[in-house]
Each structure stands twice: as structure tokens, then as C-alpha cells.
Amino acid sequence: MKEFTQQLLNGLAIGSVYALVAVGYTLVFGVLRFINFAHGSVLTFAAYVSLFGMLALKLPFAVAFGGSLVVSGLFSIMVERQAYRPLRLQGAPNLNLLITSIGVSLLVENAIIVFYSADFFVFPKVLSSSTISLGGVATIPPVDLLLTGVAITLMVLLYVFVNYTKMGVAIQALAYDRDAAALMGININLAIAYTFFIAGTMASAAGVLIGMKFNVNPYLGGLFGVKSFAAAVVGGIGSIPGSYLGGYLIGILETMGAGYVSSNYKDAIAFVLLVLILLFKPSGLLGRGLQEKV
Amino acid sequence: MGFRGSSSLKAAAFALVTVMLAGVLSGCGGGSSEIKIGCFYPLTGANAAKGQFNKNGTQLAIDDINAAGGLLGKKVVPVYEDTQSKKENVPNVVRKLIEQDKAVALMGEVASSNSIAAGPVVKQLKVPAIAPTSTNPKVVMDPEDVTKLNPFYFRACFIDPLQGAVLANFVSKNLNKTKAALLYNIAQDYNKGLAQFFKERFQKNGGTIIAEETYPDQTQDFKPQLTKIKEANPEAIIIPNTYAENGLILRQAKELGINAIFLAGDASHAPKLIEIGGDGAEGVYLTTLYAPDDPDPKAQAFAKKYRDKFKEEPNSNACFSYEAMMVIGEAVKKAGKAEPQAIRDAMENVKDIEVPSGKFTMDPKTHNPLNKPVVVIQVKGNGFVFVTKVTPE
């Protein structure tokens, strides 16, 4: 029981990361109907931005974290404007957007290697390293609490934004039918920019917190990005609660799998789940079936 | 659109031609006044902190050789290439060093898997290579038949069966522990090999392995494995992994409140281990090739020389790259000409040269040096402290 509780907490912490990143895949897919593979690199970018803020500019953590959320959101918008919008306005097929996004992610990764070296960086100590003991049953480090807290807070904020603000409703309308939304007077480009900004800040929160929990390196977005993508599809791509469900499901299942089955297959679990979902419920656990022309 | 496309195509073609010409010209240049030594090291990526030490150690040796008049009256010039710590980059990098830079001998890599990846190329192109710090037995073996030697691969350090045995004896005899657990990277030959050799000797000593967990490359979350190991309650936990992975393992073990003694191998001998591991790294034992605070005066002299030049403490990578370069230097002198085949033949018979970790004699039957001692060090405060030195019989 002790081991089970600990593994559950381990799974929740890592699941929070997947959930935060997965929601970005879902949002962008919702409005543009393509998988933005550059999303994982926003996460890496954010970790470096906050690291730079703290090490080079000597900013306090809260400022560096907040700054990184804004800068990464803007970076995400810039990627959309420079790389995707020209293609979108030319009416290029979604496949072209997808390939472009892979290019963007390679560009970001390699630019970091060139300007910041490929070495591992350690985040300055912000939280105490002494862990919180839960009645001798399990331990939880402060960074995991922060991670889970941030993930849940952002989920609630996102829910409120999407359902109770004008722009949120506009984004939903856009996701439902882009042309009809445009005819109703919604500024499509603005709504898309908002979507990318939100996706970028969510990934940024994940990036900074993973950087604190582990270390910072240019490949940070790689494995976390791909697993979060699996989480988005498992939960139902296009569905915001679905991406959270998928993220926590994969986090907990792979942790339990490593703990009780075999640690050799830990990374495979996310992808086995992905294949199973695609075979038996292609729209994902909470996704609506949608008519897709590819 | 069509116009733009064709002009960018022209630009690309022009750039390509320029690059190729530059390659040809640099191939022609250099000439006979220099002896080029190709060094393929992980200067970026997962092993970057180690590769930098290898580069510094090599540079120190080349400076010493050139200060003493060079080799055969020629200046020794290193050509450094970055493998980015990736196995798949190694064959191309090695080929480039040999075919374009005309290196007569090679040094590299750090990770055993990466040195093994260089094996087929040096064998095919017939240029001798020496691995300063790759300890897996397969590094010097023929890639097609592991029972035979690769005639062109040599090594400057001890091998993992010895390191594993020393590690196991240290746990059983010095620490008096009988219950051990293992946690290692299953995708790397070094980690897998060292774990295996530890296990064999430890069980022979009467110890039991009560938990054995693995993980693949790029793993950062070791909590599931560590939680499982914690439940098994081992006295010692063996982590034969690189410094970056072990730093995270040690930090996460501390977070889980694991109190067992941790032990690792030479791949963790880098200051980054302590930087990443934080409080968790305190008290970890490592087996390694060289320690700057080894009481041996020759080791101390090397440490001083390194400190004066690079303003940091040397580690085993620095020392063994220095030694490997000295071995190449001796082989060129013995061969009397800077020609790969002759250097290879001479390298097999390098005997009794003075190096910082003692005397160096290459065993022609194994391509490994004879009687390299294993040093045990421990993390204390913010650095590594010499514990003991074991010389094989």
C-alpha cells in the first residue's frame, strides 16, 4: 500500500506535465486541424528563457517564471504568424503545416544547441529540497506539489476562459466551423493568435517546472512532447478535458507499469495505449467523432 | 514564385560547390610539416562535460610533445570533431577525420557504445584509434567477430570486468554489505556491461541482488524504479550510469528518502554529477581511473599542470586522454614515420612509458594496457575525495 501510494503520487506529478503539454496540442488541433509538432519545442524554449532570466539577468524565480510564460506565449504566436499563417492563407493542405511544424521544432532545438550548447543545465535552487512526508507512507517533493498545483489551476482558468469569455466562445466557434465563424464576424486571425498564446503559456509552465524537477537540455521537449501528443490523442484530440484525462492516464499507467510490470517497457506504455485507442476508439476517450478530410 | 525557387536553387548549388571545394583544398593543405591526430569526442550532448576534459587532457599532452620538439621533427596538430554524444554520428565523423583531415591516428570516444560504433570504420580504413576512457571489453574487439581483436583499436584505460570486480569487492569487503540493488541504462553497452560484471563478482562473494531495474536513453523520471528499489530495502545501490543520469537518480532518491549507499563507475566522475545531484550526491562512491588527490607524486604533478593551465580540477578523462596521446606519440617515434599502418604496429609494442597514473605497457594480445590500477573516490562536500587504490595482480 505504501509503495502504491508513492507510485500514484509519482504518476500524478509526471501526468501533470503530460496534461499541460497535451492541452496545447488539443487547442491548436481544435482551431487549425493539424498537429503542431513544434509545440514540444516551445516547452524547451520556455525552460531556457526562465533559466536565462535567473542565471544571466538574476531575476527572482516568480518574475522569471511569469516572464517566461509571456515570452513563450508570444513565441508561440510568432511561430504561427511566420510559419503557419502564410501557408494557411495560401490554402495549403494541412499536411504542409504539419511538415512545417516538424521543421520549426528542429530549428528551435538546433538553435538552442548553437547559442546555448547542448550541455545539461541545472536550475537554480528555488524550492527547498527537503521533501514533505505524508505520514511516513509516501514523500512528495515541493516541486511536484507546485507542478500539480499549477496544472490544475491552469486547467480551471482555461475552462473559465473558454466557456465564459467572448474570445473563448469565439475560439469554440472557430473550432466548430471556421468559415461560419468568420461569417459571424469573428476575427479568425486574432482568435488563432489567442489560441497559440494559451497553448504556448501552458507548455511554458510545463517546461519551466520540468526544468526544475529534472534538468534543462535541448532535447527536453522531445520525449515529453511525443508522450504528451499520445496523451492528447488518447484523451480525444480537440477535447480539453480529454487531454487532461489522457495526460494523467498515461502518467499514472506508465509509472504503475514500471513499478509493477517491468521498467523496460515504461516508455512503450504510452505508445501501446495510443495504438489501442486508435484501433478501438479513434476519436479518443472524450473526443467527438469528426469528419476529417485529409 | 518560379523565379524565386530557381534563384534559391542556384544559391544552394553554389554554396554546395564552395563547401566541396573548401573540403578538397583543406585536404590538400597541411602537407608534411604537421602530424594530424584526429580526436572524436562528445563536445556537446549528454556526455559534453566529459568530452571537454578529454579535449583539455589531449591538448595538454600535445603541448608537452610539441614543447619537447614535436614528433620526427614535425609539429603535432589535433583535429577535434564533435560526435554530439550520439552513436549514429560516429561513423561519419571518423570517416571525415581520416579521409578529409588525413589524420594518421585517432583518439576517441568517451562512451563505449560510441567507440564501438567507430570500430568498423577504423578497421576498414586502416587507421589506428585509441579510446582513452571507454571501458567496455567490446571496444577493441572485431565488429564482425567479437572473439577476435580489432587490429586497429586500442585502449588506454582498464576494462569493466576489472572495474565491476573492484566495485563488488569494495561493497562486500570494505563496506561489509550483502544486499545490493542495480539501476542502469539498458540502451548503453557500458552501463549494461558494468552492471553484469558487478553482479557476477558480487554473487561470487556471497552477496545477493535483491532488485534490478533498468531504463532507456533520455529517461529523466526515475521515481517509479527507485520507489520499487526502496521497497526491496537494499544496503547498497549500484548505478553504473553517466553523470547526468546519476545526478538525477541521486536527487530523486534523496526525495524518496532512500538511505542506502550509492556506488557508480568512472562515467560519473565529473563535477556536473554533484551539481545535478545536489545534496543527494553526498557520500556516493565511484570507481575511476585517476584521482587528482591520489598520493602518488606523478598523479599530483599532472594535477598541478592541469590546474595551472585550465583553472579546474582534472578528472580521469583528462588524465587518460593525456596518457593516450602520449602512447600515440611514443608509437610514432617507434615507427619512425607518420604512417597509419606503421603507427599501429608500433602501438602494439609500447612498453614502460611513464604516465601520470603509473607505467604504461600495451598488451599486444588484448590491446589493453597492463596493470592499470582502479581508484575509489567518494563525493564529500563539493568535490571528490580519494579513498583507496586497487592494483590488479
Q: What is the mean pLDDT of residues A131-135?
A: 81
**Residue B362 or A262, more confident:** B362
**pLDDT value at residue B156:** 94
A134 and A113 Cβ atoms separated by less than 8 Å: no
Q: Does B216 sit within 8 Å of A214, measured CB to CB? A: no
Q: Does A6 sit within 8 Å of B215, measured CB to CB? A: no
Q: Does B244 sit within 8 Å of A117, measured CB to CB? A: no
**pLDDT value at residue B15:** 55
Chain A residues whose CB is inside 8 A of the B256 CB are 6, 131, 139
- Distance in angstroms (rounded) separating the CA atoms of residues B64 and A79: 51
Could you identify the residue written with the cell 545477493? B208
Phi, psi of B213 (to 5 degrees): -120, 150
Nearest chain B alpha carbon to A215: B276
Query: Measured between CA atoms, how close is A191 to chain B, in angstroms?
Result: 30
Q: Is B102 helix (H, G, I), strand (E, B) or coil?
A: coil
Chain B residues whose CB is inside 8 A of the A119 CB are 44-45, 48-49
Q: Which residues pair with B66 in a beta bridge?
A: none
- Distance in angstroms (rounded) separating the CA atoms of residues B186 and A195: 40
Which grid coordinates are listed for B381? 562536500
Q: What is the DSSP string of B347-360?
A: HTT--SEEETTEEE
Model confidence pLDDT, tens digit, residues A46-85: 999 999 999 889 999 999 999 999 999 999 999 999 999 9
**pLDDT value at residue B336:** 92
**pLDDT value at residue B17:** 54
Model confidence pLDDT, tens digit, residues A85-129: 999 999 899 899 999 999 999 999 889 888 887 778 888 887 776
Query: What is the residue-level pLDDT of chain B in tens, covering all 393 positions?
Result: 344 444 555 555 555 555 555 444 444 444 568 999 999 999 988 788 889 999 999 999 999 999 999 999 999 999 999 998 889 999 999 999 999 999 999 998 999 999 999 999 999 999 999 999 999 999 999 988 888 999 999 999 999 999 999 999 999 999 999 999 999 999 888 999 999 999 999 999 999 999 999 998 888 899 999 999 999 999 999 999 999 999 999 999 999 999 999 999 999 998 889 999 988 999 999 999 999 999 999 999 999 999 999 999 999 999 999 999 999 999 999 999 999 999 999 999 999 999 998 889 999 999 999 988 999 999 998 899 999 998 876
**pLDDT value at residue A114:** 82
Chain A residues whose CB is inside 8 A of the B224 CB are 7, 10-11, 254-256, 258-259, 263, 266
The greatest distance separating any two alpha carbons of chain A, rounded to the nearest whole angstrom, comes to 61
**pLDDT value at residue B207:** 95
- Distance in angstroms (rounded) separating the CA atoms of residues B308 and A81: 52
Give the relative orientation of helices A94-116 and A39-55 as an angle to the nearest 10 degrees: 20
Q: Where are the beta strands (DSSP E) in chain A?
A: 132-134, 138-140
Phi, psi of B54 (to 5 degrees): -60, -40
Q: What is the mean pLDDT of residues A254-269?
A: 86
B386 and B295 Cβ atoms separated by less than 8 Å: yes
Chain B residues whose CB is inside 8 A of the A40 CB are none
Question: What residues contact A122, with CB distance under 8 A and at least 6 apart?
Answer: A215, A216, B247, B272, B275, B276
Rounded to 5°, the CA angle B239-B240-B243 comes to 85
**What is the distance of C-alpha A179 from the center of its chain?**
27
**Which of B220, B254, B273 to probe the A interface (max A CBs under 10 A)?**
B220
B100 and B26 Cβ atoms separated by less than 8 Å: yes
**pLDDT value at residue B30:** 43
Q: Does B44 sit within 8 Å of A117, measured CB to CB? A: yes
Q: Which residues pair with A133 in a beta bridge?
A: A139
Q: Where are the beta strands (DSSP E) in chain B?
A: 34-41, 75-82, 105-108, 129-131, 153-155, 179-185, 208-215, 236-238, 261-264, 285-288, 353-355, 358-360, 374-380, 383-390
**pLDDT value at residue A27:** 92
- Distance in angstroms (rounded) separating the CA atoms of residues B309 and B373: 26
Long-range CB contacts (within 8 A, 24+) of A261-268? A263/B213, A263/B214, A263/B215, A263/B224, A263/B225, A263/B228, A264/B186, A264/B214, A264/B216, A266/B215, A266/B216, A266/B219, A266/B224, A267/A223, A267/A227, A267/B216, A267/B219
Model confidence pLDDT, tens digit, residues A227-259: 999 999 999 988 889 999 999 999 999 999 988
**pLDDT value at residue B29:** 41
**pLDDT value at residue B4:** 46
Which of B317, B342, B310, B314 lies closest to B328, judged by CA? B342
Q: Which helix (H) or strand (E) holds B113?
A: helix B112-125
Rounded to 5°, the CA angle A97-A101-A103 comes to 120
Q: Does A120 sit within 8 Å of B46, measured CB to CB? A: yes
Which grid coordinates are listed for B52? 571537454
Query: Measured between CA atoms, how close is B1 to chain A, in angstroms?
Result: 13
B62 and B76 Cβ atoms separated by less than 8 Å: yes
Torsion, Cα of A31, A33, A38, A41 (10° steps): 60
Torsion, Cα of B236, B156, B54, A124 (10° steps): 0
The conformation of residue B280, written as its DSSP 8-state character, comes to: G
